[in-house]
Amino acid sequence: MSQFLRHDAPAIAYAVVIFIVSSLPSLALPDIGFSFEDKLAHLVEFGVFGFLLVRSLGSRLGYGFRGLGIVAIIGTGYAASDEWHQSFVPGREADVTDFFADVMGILLALALFWLYKRTNQP
């Protein structure tokens, strides 16, 4: 049970948060002064999700190419389903560039996690 609470529950809870936020009719981000702040928000949001996914699944799948590849596929699938879900929410729309920012966030998190694991092995 502690494996679930420590590793799996945060990834599941974060996926639920993403779903809830994506269900809001409109979500205005604060203006921070540049034109692609929405894409940065997607990158960070799914970067965190990617980290939580690899933390959850990596111990079972491994941290090599196969394990990280499976995590990337799962994260990418969730990003695609999130954009598709938004196409049904009034005031929201599916955007392929948002999807690409989501995927880049996941891949960045996986790359950083892989580098961390590689440099901190005994």
Q: What is the pLDDT of residues 32-43, one digit of tens each?
A: 665 677 889 899
pLDDT at 28: 65
Is 31 within a domain? no
Number of structural domains (the chain) is: 1
Q: What is the pLDDT of residues 49-100, one digit of tens each?
A: 999 999 999 888 888 889 999 999 999 999 999 999 999 999 888 999 999 9
- Give residue for tokens 């196969």: 66
CB-based burial label for 89 (10 Å; 0-12, 13-18, 19+)? middle
Q: Containing domain of residue 50, as a range?
A: 2-24+36-119
pLDDT at 16: 97
pLDDT at 120: 82
Can you read off the two tokens belonging to residue 52?
A: 């939580």
Contact of 79 with 46, CB cutoff 8 Å: yes
Contact of 107 with 41, CB cutoff 8 Å: no
Q: What is the pLDDT of residues 4-44, one digit of tens each?
A: 888 899 999 999 999 999 998 876 655 666 567 788 989 99
Instruction: Report the alpha-carbon distance of residue 70 to residue 63 in Å, rounded.
Output: 10
